[in-house]
Chains A and B, each alone.
Chain A
Amino acid sequence: MSRIVVKLENVSKIYRIRSYEVHALKNVNLEVRKGELLVIMGPSGSGKSTLLNIIGTLDKPTKGGVILDGVNIMQLSEDELAYIRCKKVGFVFQFFNLINNFTALENVMLPLVLSGDYTVKEAKEKALELLRLVGLEKFINNRPSQMSGGQQQRVAIARALANDPSIVLMDEPTGNVDVEAATKILSLVNWLNKTYGHTFLIVTHNPDVANIGTRVLYIRDGMLYEKPPKSAFSRIKLLEDNIEVRNAYLRILIVELNSLKRKILLGKVDYEEALDMLGRLEKKARDLGVSI
């Protein structure tokens, strides 16, 4: 068995938004091995981006441990984490996230430059080859804004591969491109995995992506499953009665009633009109179980 690249041990993530607590991840255990193409499927809000951010060391779990390529990232300083991200992790985002001040070539050079291991010349040579690898050698001097979404995403893949990371993390890589571009991107990822043994972890809700995975996991409500959970809609429970909504509606009725009263007093509506409006308000109130 190949070595373990990523290991999550009982990882939980709780976000506190004012008085609320959101449990984005609940006791997640995960091992990703070298050469895997792991696809994690899940709808939005299921915690898949949080999972990716934690593996990518952009975020730290509230509880649990993260071991990336044998290094426990929990005790590392911010600068050490930056180094890990630079050397061991490649990111590909849904919205490409290339830097518009730089050309395609420069965007791919950037991680090489940030690693401090390459001169500008060496970085340029390597970046050129990487762009050739993703089939964009003709666009090296284009700015991101001068490229299609699919092309930008391939530049992003080239950038993610630049420092030969232990793992490439992809967040909805086909989420923002057309079908043709998505096909190209997925074929590229598949090929990079099969031929070069690059390790990928892709989170998506696109079932097509699952087809290229060597392993597929499912995430719902911050928990990982081996098999797809029964209903994708199980999270949504329709509320039967909501006293808050009712009260708010009642208050709106009172405002309308007061407005009507004013109009009657000022003689702005005639008798019949007023009766008609009052009747309508009364009906609405009755629907809410209140009499006026």
Chain B
Amino acid sequence: MLTKSMLKFAWLFSVRDITLRKFRSLLTILAISIGVASFVALRLVSIGVHIKVTEEVNQLINADLIIYGEGICDVPQFVEQLLATIPHIKKTTSIVMIRGWIESNRGKYFANIIGCDPKSLKDFFNVSLIEGRMFRDGENNVVIIHEDIARSIRATLGKNVIVKPHIMIKGSEGYTAEIIGVSEASASIGGFSFFTYCIIPLKDAQKLIGSEGYVTYIFVKVSNKKYTNSIKRDIKRLFPKALITEQKEITKIINRIVNTITGLMVALTLIGMVVAFFAVANTIMMNVREHVRDIGILKAIGSRKSYILFMFLLEAFLLSIVGGIIGILLGIAGSYALRELLPQMGISFIVPIVLDTYTLIIGFLLSVSVGLLASLYPSWRASLISPIEALKYE
């Protein structure tokens, strides 16, 4: 049984041990905190990515169904008119989406080129402009570019840029267009891609790749979600070759991919915890070795085995608490640093960092449990040391 005064003495012993061997304690704390920090940082970022992706994709929920073909741009545009015959369809729109480049005399930038009607721009996409305007019906040779592109190629409103489809797509001549709008970076053009985009009129896009009369996607809005399945069946009957996907499936798929990647990364950080485990085990073993004589003395003056076990566990516990707290703080800082690094990896959106309590608690529990588990064996061994042998120990 531990009395309050015994607790105090165990505390004194451990704290002095930690402070008397500053460097070693520091290294152990560092090992723990780096393990915890990498876990916390990656988990926070992955939660942020998850939130952002769901948010982004959900903005596209404007389209309940998406019809597409097997090629890049092989859905006949007349399909859209035929869809009007299917009951419960509220709205439809045709979209061309290809990968390409935007060039100015100051540089070029990778972008998704989206061709759509001014009306569908309003109905199906959430594009908010920082400056300029949307294009009007019948207008051509105009482009709305993403803020990131504008910054990167130093293009401003009113300037001309060349929009070029990817080299693999026929008709890579390019298309000169005037910038009439710059869209906000956070504005989403639906979860299709997390890269940057530019928007041009549908007709221009079709002309650009030489496939007039064809589109990449037809977006469909239903009047009531409960009809989604029957509409899907109807479309399938009309166009057996059409591929149809629901928006929520896209969300699911994307999230599954994101979760797999981030889950893998978080799992990798557990290697850090394994390293921390050995660091703590090593420290406590060294401690036990240094204190063999003290253990003998303690036993000789009447200490129980359990008290000695407690003393050494307490030290590991203190180290891992400090390591855990520092690790969490480092992890939070690290998640912000990681967020700054992400755009350089081609992810253009800003990941929101949410201080998820669950993650922080897990990080802390991880450090404490690793610390305690790692010290269990050496502490237990310490408690078994024979006092006679220990007192002879030099």
Binding site for B on A (CB under 8 A): 53, 56, 58-59, 78-79, 82-87, 89, 91, 93, 97-102, 106, 109-111, 113-116, 118-120, 123, 159, 163
CB-based nearest A residue for B293 = A97
B237 at the A/B interface (Cβ < 8 Å)? no
Q: Complex formed: what's the CA distance from A59 to B391 in Å?
A: 12
Report A-chain residues with C-beta under 8 Å of the C-beta of B300. Answer: 56, 58, 85, 91, 97
Query: Which residues of B, 1-54, contact A by the 8 Å Cβ criterion?
Result: 1, 3-6, 8-9, 12-13, 16-17, 20
What 1/0 flags go to B196-237 for Cβ under 8 Å of A? 000000000000000000000000000000000000000000
B303 and A82: CB pair below 8 A? yes
B275-309 residues at the A interface, CB under 8 angstroms? 293-294, 296-307
B388 interfacial by beta-carbon distance below 8 Å: yes
Give the shortest distance, in Å, between A144 (CB) and chain B (any CB).
11
Kindly provide the distance from the CB of A147 to the nearest chain B CB, expressed in whole angstroms: 16
A-B pairs with the 8 shortest C-beta distances? A86-B302, A85-B302, A101-B16, A120-B5, A113-B5, A97-B297, A111-B301, A82-B304
List, in ascending order, chain B residues with CB within 8 A of A87's CB.
302
Q: Are A97 and B391 in contact (CB-based, < 8 A)? A: yes
How many chain B residues touch the partner (CB < 8 A)?
A: 29
A56-B300, A102-B13, A116-B6 given; name 17 further pairs at CB < 8 Å: A53-B388, A58-B299, A58-B300, A58-B387, A59-B388, A79-B304, A82-B299, A85-B299, A85-B301, A86-B301, A87-B302, A97-B296, A106-B12, A110-B301, A114-B298, A114-B303, A159-B301
14 of the cross-chain contacts (CB-CB < 8 Å) are: A58-B387, A83-B302, A84-B302, A85-B299, A97-B300, A97-B391, A99-B13, A101-B12, A101-B17, A101-B20, A111-B301, A113-B9, A114-B307, A119-B5
With A97-B293, A101-B16, A114-B307 as contacts: A91 and B3 at CB distance below 8 Å: no
* One of B301, B305, B391 near A79 (C-beta < 8 A): B305
In the bound assembly, the distance between CA atoms of A109 and B302 in angstroms comes to: 13
Closest B residue by C-beta to A87: B302
What is the number of contacts between chain A and chain B, taking CB atoms within 8 Å?
Answer: 86
Kindly state the separation between the CA atoms of A109 and B5 in the bound complex, as whole angstroms: 10
In the assembled complex, which residues on chain B have CB atoms less than 8 Å from the CB atom of A79?
304-306
Cα A42 to Cα B300 with chains together (Å) = 23
- On whether the beta carbons of B1 and A101 are closer than 8 Å, the reply is no
Bound CA span A25–B17, Å: 39
Nearest CB of chain A from residue B63's CB, rounded to whole Å: 70
Which chain B residue shows the least CB distance to A90?
B301
Pairwise interchain contact B5-A91, C-beta atoms closer than 8 A: no
Cα A106 to Cα B298 with chains together (Å): 13
A91 to B297 CA separation, bound complex (whole angstroms): 9
Q: How far is the CA of A118 from the CA of B3 in the complex (A)?
A: 9
Asked whether, in the complex, the Cβ of A116 is within 8 Å of the Cβ of B299, the reply is no
Q: Chain A residues near B391 (CB, 8 Å)?
A: 58, 93, 97
From B3, B298, B306, B307, contact of A99 by CB (8 A): B298
User: Judging by beta carbons under 8 Å apart, are B302 and A120 in contact?
Assistant: no
Specify which chain B residues have a CB less than 8 angstroms from the CB of A110 in the assembled complex.
9, 298, 301
Chain A residue at minimum C-beta to C-beta distance from B303: A114
Chain A positions within 8 Å of B16 at CB level: 101-102
Q: How close is B102's CB to chain A, nearest CB, in angstroms?
A: 69
Q: How far is the CB of A290 from chain B (nearest CB, A)?
A: 43
Cβ–Cβ < 8 Å partners of B304 in chain A: 78-79, 82
Whole-angstrom distance between the alpha carbons of A59 and B303 in the complex? 15
B388 touches A119 (CB 8 A): no
**Which residues of A are found within 8 Å of B296, using beta-carbon distances?**
97
Asked if A114 contacts B301 (CB within 8 A), the reply is yes
A119, closest chain B residue (CB): B5
Kindly state the separation between the CA atoms of A240 and B16 in the bound complex, as whole angstroms: 57
A123 with B301, Cβ < 8 A, contacts A101-B17, A114-B307 known: no
Binary per-residue interface labels of chain B (369-394) against chain A in the complex, 1 for a CB within 8 Å, 0 otherwise = 00000000000000000011001000
**Residue contact B6 to A113, C-beta cutoff 8 Å:** yes
Contacts of B12 in A (CB 8 A): 101-102, 106
